[in-house]
Amino acid sequence: LIAEFQRAQRYHTDFSLILLDLDNLKKINDTHGHLAGDMALKEVARIVKVSIRTVDKAFRTGGDEFTVLLPHTKIGEAEKVAKRIKILVCNSTIFKDKEVSLRISQGVSTFSSDLSSWDDMYNRADKALYQAKRKGGNYIVCWDKGISSSQNILPL
């Protein structure tokens, strides 16, 4: 994150960040056990991997949280990536027989010249993620000059 932020700052390029959090991992763990929770994490990781370009980077950064770095990506394109991830997660059939669906919330931010550090960019994505969770989860919230857009994409 630091290197991509510095690159965007130095070369005046676009750079976006997605923070993604599983909404119901605790429920999956409590209802079906920790092996099921591990399966859920692996499925989300697989979906993120197939949803991004080879130049993008994705990391598991917490118990049920992932970070996706999108170099040379404006906020609108980052939102499209977030939508693609969400649709694939919502349509996952990994727990179909157990009547549990995967749900994720996402916060998206993008590099801008008013940011003084990578922390600021991360904090914007984090605030957007928390707003998505406060809306009840299964939302995408983008930070663009303040938190300005959100979208709830339901399973198809």
Measuring CA to CA, which residue among 13, 8, 90, 122 is closest to residue 82? 90
Place of tokens 């170099």: 71
* Active-site annotation holder among 21, 23, 56, 64: 64
Contact by Cβ (8 Å): 115, 144: no
Look up 114 and say whether it is catalytic. Answer: no
**Cβ partners under 8 Å of residue 98, min gap 6:** 31, 32, 36
Rounded alpha-carbon distances, angstroms, from residue 57 to 45, 69, 138: 12, 5, 22
Task: Decide if 91 contacts 101 (C-beta within 8 A).
Answer: no
d(CA 139, CA 104): 7
Residues belonging to the active site: 64
